[in-house]
């Protein structure tokens, strides 16, 4: 009998107001272009991008989940306040009125009606933080992912399975400059370090 190799869906977001080029989109593209070796990570990595659009997000996420049927999910998003890998513990059944990429504002309604106020990942975030730190990465745990589309995607993902994690990353430094280009220079990761950190997270989540 062959051993089951878990699959991990890794997602990023497209552009949104204030970030015309989203670092999480670039990171997912870079990860997908690199060799995916199940023996190295003990998982099959699959990738997808989510629209930063209040009305289109849920459908896009559902399509990715139905198509890939992942065992685990790692969602990536950009935050100018993140100084490294910011591991979000919790998603909230709340939205905000910030505009999306098309200028549509949120309704400030719950993500899903008649559902819990908050949902929490069942992943060992303290262990992930410690292993990332030991490997030389800046890592921290947060219980507040905001109420924008990052939070909405996380809440929807946790509704399906608590084996989900949202990670906020800072700007990415590439050979061509910073992503986003309007980065203020405070917090950043090199693209290679960002790829290495996400792959380390994937390896931690799939340890026997």
Q: Report the CATH number that the domain containing residue 92 is assigned in CATH.
A: 3.40.630.20
Q: Determine, yes or no, domain membership for 143.
A: yes
Q: Determine, yes or no, domain membership for 162.
A: yes
Count how many domains the chain has: 1
- pTM of the full structure: 0.95
Helix 149-160 / helix 57-68 crossing angle, nearest 10 deg? 40
Length of the chain: 208
**Which structural domain, as residue segments, surrounds residue 148?**
7-205
- Res 36: pLDDT: 54
The 10s digit of each residue's pLDDT in 167-185 is 999 999 998 889 998 887 7
166 near 145, Cβ under 8 Å?
yes
Q: Determine, yes or no, domain membership for 2.
A: no
Q: Determine, yes or no, domain membership for 160.
A: yes
Q: Determine, yes or no, domain membership for 1.
A: no
- Res 125: pLDDT: 97
Mean pLDDT taken over the chain: 93
Q: Determine, yes or no, domain membership for 33.
A: yes
Q: Determine, yes or no, domain membership for 180.
A: yes
Cα separation of 178 and 176, whole Å? 7
Backbone phi and psi for residue 58, each to the nearest 5 degrees, phi listed first: -60, -45
Q: Determine, yes or no, domain membership for 120.
A: yes
Calculate the alpha carbon distances from 172 to 44, 65, 82 in Å.
Answer: 25, 27, 11
* Range list of H helices, the chain: 23-33, 38-41, 57-68, 125-134, 149-160, 191-205
* Range list of H helices, 135-190: 149-160
């Amino acid at each position: 009998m062959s051993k089951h190799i878990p699959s991990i869906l890794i997602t990023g977001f497209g552009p949104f107001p204030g970030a015309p080029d989203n670092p999480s989109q670039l990171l997912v593209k870079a990860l997908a272009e690199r060799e995916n070796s199940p023996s190295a990570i003990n998982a099959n990595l699959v990738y997808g991008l989510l629209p930063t659009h209040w009305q289109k997000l849920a459908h896009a996420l559902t399509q990715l989940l139905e198509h890939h049927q992942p065992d685990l999910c790692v969602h990536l998003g950009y935050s100018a306040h993140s100084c490294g890998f910011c591991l979000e513990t919790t998603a909230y059944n709340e939205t905000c009125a910030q505009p999306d990429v098309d200028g549509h504002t949120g309704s400030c309604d719950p993500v899903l009606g008649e559902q819990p106020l908050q949902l929490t990942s069942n992943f060992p975030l303290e262990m992930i933080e410690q292993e990332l730190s030991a490997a030389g990465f800046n890592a921290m745990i947060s219980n507040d992912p905001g109420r924008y589309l990052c939070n909405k995607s996380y809440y929807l993902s946790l509704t399906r399975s608590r084996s989900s994690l949202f990670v906020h990353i800072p700007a990415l430094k590439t050979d061509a400059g910073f992503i986003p280009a309007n980065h203020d220079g405070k917090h950043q990761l090199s693209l290679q370090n960002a790829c290495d950190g996400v792959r380390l997270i994937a390896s931690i989540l799939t340890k026997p």
